[in-house]
Amino acid sequence: MITFIKSCSDDKSWRMRYVLADKIVEVAKCLDREAIMQHLVDSFVSFLQDVESEVRAIATTRSAEFCKIMDGPTVVKKVIPALKKLSTDTFMHVRSMIHKTQTGRGFVRESLVHSSTHWQFQHN
């Protein structure tokens, strides 16, 4: 399954990347935490940085939910910098999706609290 996911995330067709970005949370629910952290996080961040605005936009709409799956340090190190760049994206559609789906920075706080609590609970 991991090989297929990597193949889709690197596919030349933006539509394939779009579909995977759209379904990333559902895909993550089928994987264990280690596989998510090793393989899916980097794919997700690449969707946030994709050359196609549609892929960036759909990944943005899934970011709050996907961040809840990750641990806090990973969110801070990998996802937040990518989202910050999207807040000044050249395409208005991408910028509007950040504001529409994230409602400012509240989602980051919520995701960090949820993921940190979840991570601490699993590692204590």
pLDDT value at 114 more than 80: no
pLDDT value at 50 more than 60: yes
pLDDT value at 65 more than 70: yes
Residues 6 or more apart whose Cβ sits within 8 Å of residue 42 = 78
* Residue 95 confidence (pLDDT): 87
* Residue 116 confidence (pLDDT): 46
Distance CA 118, CA 124 (A): 10
Q: What integer is the mean pLDDT of 8-19? A: 95
* Structural domain harbouring 44: 2-123
Which position has the token pair 């910028």?
95
Distance CA 79, CA 98 (A): 13
Residues 6 or more apart whose Cβ sits within 8 Å of residue 58 = 18, 21, 22, 47
- Per the model's pLDDT, the better-predicted residue between 91 and 109 turns out to be 91
CATH number of the domain within which 61 lies: 1.25.10.10
Provide the pLDDT confidence category of residue 5 given band limits of 50, 70 and 90: confident
For residues 68 and 114, is the Cβ–Cβ distance under 8 A?
yes
pLDDT tens sequence across 22-45: 999 999 999 998 899 998 999 999
* Residue 123 confidence (pLDDT): 41
Q: What integer is the mean pLDDT of 104-124? A: 48
Q: What is the mean pLDDT of the chain?
A: 83
Number of folded domains that form the chain: 1
